[in-house]
Amino acid sequence: MEKNKPKLKYIPARNKIGAIMRTNDNPGRIDILTQAIDKLFSLKEISLIYIMIYQAKEDGIRQELIKRYGKEKKRIKFVNVPSGNFYSDLLNYAINEQTRQGVDYSLILSPEAHLYAEGVNFEKMIKAIKEGALAVALKINEYKEAIEHGYFSNAFAIYRNTAVNFVDVWGINNTIRGDEDDKLHFGIEEIYTIKYLIDIHGKGSVVIVTPENGQLVESADKKSQKWRKNVYNTKLDRTKRMYQLLKVDFKKLKTKIVWA
């Protein structure tokens, strides 16, 4: 940490880590979600899992998932989010709720990234947290170029819950209104957060870790494939756009990110 910067300490006595995944109510998402949930259950460090379902229908995937995991109701919650922003609002809500449940850190991940949830990758991230990091992301192989240009990926990242609040493009510039087909104006809620953490807490608060193994898994659902392809192809452009809106020079900011 930089001199004179405040430092939030790791809390080994509680040492609780939650997990958060977002999804829409597309029935085609059930298979990839169950794969990811089962993988998270294999990590002993994960104490609570939140599946945030955007605009869930009464007879939608929430009911099907509850049937499958009803016996694990103390460890997993399926939350209907009827309104708000899919990118930042869902995460802020989930982090606030996990904090209320006594969870100090939350792992945010895409269901497609669940194969990165291996012990060796997780151990490297936990090590960074114990050393004082407040945000730790994996350098996802498939997003390597975008990450090297400033994209701190919420495809697989752990945050200290009391230190973060997500704001995406819509929150920065109210004149922008985008949708899933808008190539520059949606998502990228991570950028504001890492800028804020570095401004307040200095070097060492944000860490990007190179994974030992893992890969993204393509969903069998055609709608999900189309959406994921659009996300992948526009990451770099949207990242650059967010830095422009925030008036941030990433070359300077990059020197304060620890690359492990």
> Could you tell me the pTM of the whole model?
0.83
Query: What residues contact residue 150 under an 8 Å CB cut-off, 6+ apart?
Result: 191, 239, 240, 243, 250, 253, 254
Q: Give me the pLDDT at residue 144, please.
A: 81
Number of residues that make up the chain? 260
Assigned domain for 33 exists = yes
Is 12 a member of any domain?
no
- Tell me, what's the pLDDT at 158? 93
Give the chain's residues under pLDDT 70. Answer: 1-15, 85, 150, 167-189, 227-228, 230-233
Q: pLDDT at position 1, please?
A: 47
Confirm whether 208 is domain-assigned: yes
What is the reported pLDDT for 11? Answer: 52
The answer to whether 34 and 43 are in contact (CB under 8 A) is no
Q: Of 214, 215, 197, whose CA–CA distance to 206 is shortest?
A: 197
Q: How many domains does the chain have?
A: 1
Residue 119: count of CB within 10 angstroms of its CB: 12
| pLDDT at site 34 | 94
Provide the CATH number for the domain around residue 149.
3.90.550.10
Q: What is the pLDDT of residue 193?
A: 83
For residue 189, the enclosing domain spans 17-259
Angle at 109 between CA 106 and CA 111, to 5 degrees: 140
Give the Å distances, CA to CA, from 147 to 107, 139, 143, 232, 237.
Answer: 18, 7, 6, 12, 12
* In a domain? residue 11: no
Alpha carbon distance 9, 130 (integer Å): 8
Is residue 9 domain-resident?
no
Residue 7 falls inside a structural domain = no
Distance between CA atoms of residues 40 and 31, nearest Å: 14
Tell me, what's the pLDDT at 229?
Answer: 72
- Assigned domain for 1 exists: no
Strand 76-81 vs strand 105-109: parallel, antiparallel, or unpaired?
unpaired
Residue 2 lies in a domain: no
Query: Which pLDDT score is estimated for 174?
Result: 38
Task: Return the sign of the alpha-carbon dihedral for residues 78, 41, 93, 194.
Answer: negative
Rg of the chain on CA atoms, in Å = 17
Q: In the sheet where 105-109 sits, what is the strand order?
A: 76-81, 46-54, 17-24, 105-109, 156-160, 135-138, 206-209, 258-259
